[in-house]
Amino acid sequence: MKWLAIVGTLALVGAAPPAVQTTTIRIHPAEVVSHVTRHMTGACLEDVNHEVYGGLYSQMIFGESFQEPTPAAAPRGFTAYGGRWLVQRGIVAVEAGPGPLLLADGQNVAAGDEVGVELFLPGKARGVAGLVVKLREPGVGADAFIGYEVALSSEPQFLRLGRHRHNFELTEDVPCSVPSDRWIKLAVRVEKFALEIFVGGKSVSRGVDRKTTLGPGGIGLRCFDRACRFRNLWVKRDGRLMPLPLETAPRWDEGVSGMWRGLRRASAVGHFALDPEQPFLGRQSQRIVFEKGTGEVGVENRGLNRSGINFVQDKPYEGVVWLQTDRPTEIIVALESGDGERVHAATRLAAPAGAWQRRTFTLTPAHGDHAGRFALKLDAPGSVRVGYVFLQPGAWGRFKDLPVRKDVAEALQAQGLTVLRYGGSMVNAPEYRWKKMIGPRERRPPYKSFWYPYATNGWGILDFLNFCEAAGFLPVPAFNLDETPQDLADFVEYVNGPADSRWGKARAADGHAAPYRLRYLELGNEEAVDEHYWGRFKAVAEAVWDRDPQLVLVVGDFAYNDRITDPFHFRGAPRIKSLAAHQKILNLAKAHGRKVCFDVHVWNNEPRDPAKLGGGILGLGDFGAALKKLCPGASFEICVFEENAGNHTLRRGLAHAHAVNALERRGDLVSIVCAANCLQPDRQNDNGWDQGLLFLNSSQVWGQPSYYVTQMLARHYLPQCVRADAHGPADALDVTAKVDPNRKILQLQVVNLDGRPVSAQVDLGGFLPAGPTMRVTDLAGRLEDENTAAEPQRIVPRERRLPHAIRGGRLEYTFPAFSFTILRLE
């Protein structure tokens, strides 16, 4: 069986020096093919993998309103990363979820070892469950670990073999018998360069991985998107079979909300409860009770998925806590080391008896700590309920005094972003409503979001608009399709209405006297643009246009991955086969003298196959041509608010460069391009969207190759694309040529999708630069290259000036293997 298709690709790099290919590029500086806006260097911000809560938002507490249930106790000798693992009579059960993982403590496996388990897949459900071997760096999230996944699916029936390196790389799905509602034996024999897999005692697969072998590591149980039960887990080492019992291990801190943990010192005795009586927010608040003894009892929080909070020495941190007690009590708030052995800063807060009380505090740590914790403690007998906690850096660590991390915001500006879209699947949550996102953030209601079931509205659409205004980005907020027309009309009046209007007054009362002058508002995300959508759009459009005729409504469209010859009968769109609803939307806009925009999403996942990469873009071109024919004279734009990839390495960087190149050549059709995803907290990837442009942890930020591609494009903006043709044996180069309006600058944006350098003869079409040199900026490396917290600048662009040596109107240049290069002649 073939292990990973990518291995053959990677073998092209790092071996003997590759042979140089040759090609010819002809530029036609006078033939303009499109006009390019400044908005081709945008990003899509969505709270997937906690881009906002744990990323951009300055709030350092994750689980601030205590809505998460108490985690179920993991079996004795195991550590749970996500999910509720329920143990009974030697069987551990877990519900369907985004990749909950159960690690067997201290059980590393290496070549020669075997691992086995029995699993039970209840009911007819999709999803997989099974083993992870050679497991390292585990965390909460579907892809938050390194290791090989060996899993079974009963609907349809197959064995899945894949590799995780804080992402997911599918090897192969092997058809085999996997019945539902029956115990199945799954075993793995670990070899130096292979895994032999047995299902029901029969060898089903032997995967070989000689290029990227993961070293020795642990073993774990895991499911993804389906429930499962496990029993009879064992390891066989040196011929000795060792059962790993699945036994109950009760929690001493039962009753503590899921993102918090109990703490106790000395002889103090206490208990905890999630109290549903008159909660401050949502369905429950956290109760802490000190019963007897000396010392401390309390709860502690370590930030996003308990990965550790960063404290900077001698810098103030501001906080808010809401408390309720039956009799006067003092509570201690503290910044501590992760193990609680060192207190960096602490203060006491008085909580009088009676109703909920808001208490503010400032803490300045005496020591720095990259993985600290925040603690709430009692040191004397008493009881307190806690409803909400907020902690953020002082003004020193925030962007223009907004609830935004300063280092993240400044890195986004340095990237050269011109547009930020706030949307994606997150807007499809039934309770995602803009009126729940205004007012004091501690009073905003928690809700079940698309990506996280215990989300809050602490940072919402208006916070997004404030940030974009301060950062200089064009904002595009997306809204749930089921927002009422009246509520969206109210929103438009809130953001764009005069100060003496009803909602304009509300805006001014919230601290923003002048209108935001919002230009775009998106309705829905990746919708089926059909009769139902048309009905919703019509009602909203007529209400919104009445409030602001200049606002451009964006149709939350999806993808078009095939050619369109008949607009009423085609394939390649995930949810529709006709543009009949689009025609009605265009007719409506034309009748009202308004412009509309269609958001089309593009997927880029294989830069070595330009035809595959360009499929969505070809479909987009046909889509635009069809819209023109459906309603001649209608004013519309196409925007790509998600250019997706599924990875964050140089592979994605080249795919991103290739896509923007192609879309700029269609600039008169496409006015905005946003890459997804804007941000990605490091090692917090809990689904397939491992494609962040800017990575971050609690103490630093760093760009990935796609971040630098955006930066290169933004720093070299020119408004006109001109005709450019590339011809050669391999057709490895994708070329976009651009000029300034005065034809004094000529620029080539060249993506080399091949594993070999390409030497090009460039015919400049009569263009002659004034100086003897050209500016060269390139990004090159291996397809799997990425930047990490330890090596944040492992792969970055090089910029230099080189003699161009133009002879006979021709320039010679060799483009590195797997590279994106910008040549600028002035």
CA-nearest of 581, 493, 600 to 536 is 581
Q: Which of 652, 639, 642 is nearest to 751 (CA)?
A: 652
Domain identity same for 533 and 630 = yes
Q: What is the DSSP letter of 508?
A: H
Question: Which domain CATH number covers 96?
Answer: 2.60.120.560
Regarding whether 109 and 96 lie in a shared domain, the answer is: yes
**What is the rounded average pLDDT of the residues 387-406?**
98
Contact between 158 and 231 under an 8 Å Cβ cutoff? The reply is no
Q: What are phi and psi of 519, to 5 degrees?
A: -105, -30
Indicate the pLDDT class of residue 605, thresholds 50, 70 and 90: low
Give the β-pairing of 595-599 and 635-644: parallel
Answer whether residue 10 shows pLDDT above 50: no
Domain boundary among 686, 715, 744: 715
Instruction: Say if residue 543 is exposed, middle or buried (CB neighbours under 10 Å; 0-12, 13-18, 19+).
Output: middle
DSSP annotation of 17 reads: P
CA distances in angstroms from 198 to 116, 118, 121, listed in the order given: 9, 12, 17
Q: What is the residue range of 333's domain?
A: 260-397
Q: Is residue 285 helix, strand or coil? A: strand
- Let me know if residue 676 belongs to a domain: yes
Written as six digits, the tokens of 671 are 């006015």
Alpha-carbon distance 197 to 310, whole Å? Answer: 42
Q: In total, how many domains does the chain have?
A: 4
Tell me if 143 sits within 8 A of 99, measured CB to CB: yes
How many whole angstroms separate alpha carbon 418 and alpha carbon 307? 32
Q: In terms of domains, do 459 and 505 share one?
A: yes
Tell me the average pLDDT across 77-93. Answer: 90
Q: What are phi and psi of 196, to 5 degrees?
A: -100, 130
Burial bucket for residue 122 (CB in 10 Å: 0-12, 13-18, 19+): middle
Alpha helices in 226-330 (DSSP H): none
pLDDT > 80? residue 210: no
Q: At what angle do helices 485-496 and 502-509 cross, to 10 degrees?
A: 60
Structural contact between residues 235 and 48, judged by C-beta atoms closer than 8 angstroms: no
**223 lies in a domain?**
yes
Is the peptide bond prior to 647 cis by the omega test (within 30 degrees of 0)?
Answer: no
Element (H, E) at 819: strand 819-825
Average pLDDT on 803-812 reads 92
In a domain, 63, yes or no: no
The end-to-end CA distance of the chain, in Å, is 53
Same domain, 451 and 350: no
pLDDT single digits (tens) 95-130: 998 889 999 999 988 889 999 999 999 998 999 999
- Point out the domain boundary residue: 182, 212, 243: 243
| pLDDT the model gives residue 381 | 96
Please indicate, yes or no, whether residues 631 and 700 belong to a single structural domain of this protein: yes
- What integer is the mean pLDDT of 510-538? 97
Alpha carbons 565 and 340: distance in angstroms, whole number: 66
Residue 131 and residue 234 in one domain? yes
Residues 232, 267, single domain; the answer is: no
- Judgement on whether residues 707 and 726 belong to the same structural domain of the protein: no
Q: What DSSP string describes 800-814?
A: EEEE---BTTEEEEE
Q: Are residues 375 and 458 in the same domain?
A: no
Q: What is the CATH number of the domain that holds 465?
A: 3.20.20.80
Q: Which comes out higher in pLDDT, residue 683 or 214?
A: 683
The total of other beta-carbon atoms located within 10 Å of residue 249's CB is: 11
Same domain, 756 and 710: no
pLDDT band, residue 226 (cuts 50/70/90): very high
Phi, psi of 503, rounded to the nearest 5 degrees = -80, -25
Nearest Cα to Cα of residue 1 among 120, 161, 215, 151: 161
- Identify the domain boundary among 243, 276, 307: 243
Task: Report the pLDDT averaged over residues 77-99.
Answer: 90
15/748: higher pLDDT: 748
Mean pLDDT, the chain, rounded, equals 92
What per-residue confidence (pLDDT) applies to 11?
27
Are residues 236 and 118 both part of a single domain?
Answer: yes
Examine the pLDDT at 244 and tell me if it is beyond 90. yes
Residue 314 lies in a domain: yes
Q: What whole-number distance in Å separates Cα of residue 83 and Cα of residue 80?
A: 7
Q: What is the pLDDT of residue 98?
A: 85
Q: CB burial class (10 A; 0-12, 13-18, 19+) of residue 806?
A: middle
Rounded Cα–Cα distance for residues 318 and 32 (Å): 55
Dist. CA 341–CA 87, nearest whole Å = 32
Residue 436, token pair as written in the block? 């729940």
pLDDT tens, position by position, 704-756: 999 999 999 999 999 999 999 988 765 789 999 999 999 999 999 999 988 89
In a domain, 72, yes or no: no
CA angle 165, 171, 172 (to 5 degrees): 150
**Counting Cβ atoms within 10 Å, is residue 629 exposed (0-12), middle (13-18) or buried (19+)?**
exposed
Radius of gyration (C-alpha) of the chain in whole angstroms: 29
8 A C-beta contact, residue 132 and residue 150: yes
- Report whether pLDDT(626) > 80: yes
Strands (DSSP E) found in 688-809: 694-696, 701-703, 720-727, 733-739, 746-752, 758-763, 773-780, 798-803
Element (H, E) at 324: strand 317-324
Is the per-residue pLDDT at 15 higher than 80? no
Locate 756 and state its tokens.
Answer: 């070999």
What is the CA 469 to chain-centroid distance, rounded? 23
Residue 191 pLDDT grade (very low, low, confident, very high; cuts 50, 70, 90): confident
Residue 254 maps to a domain = no
Tell me the pLDDT band of 13, cut-offs 50, 70 and 90. Answer: very low
Note the pLDDT of residue 165. 86
Pairing of strands 329-336, 369-378: antiparallel
Determine contact, residues 221/230, Cβ cutoff 8 Å. Answer: yes
Residues 28 and 136 in one domain: no
For residue 73, tell me if it sits in a domain: no
pTM strictly above 0.75: yes
Q: Are strands 746-752 and 819-825 parallel, antiparallel or unpaired?
A: antiparallel
Q: Residue 773 belongs to a domain with what CATH number?
A: 2.60.40.1180
Tracing tokens 């953001």 back to the chain, one arrives at 495
- Cβ within 8 Å of residue 341, ≥6 positions away: none
DSSP letters, 68-128, are: SPPPPPPPTTEEEESS-EEEETTEEEE-S-S--EEEETT--B-TT-EEEEEEE--SS---E
> How would you label 521-537 residue by residue, b for 16+ Cβ within 10 Å and e otherwise?
bbbbbbbebeeebbebb
**Residue 248 lies inside a defined structural domain of this protein:** no
CA separation for the pair 698, 679 (Å, rounded):
13
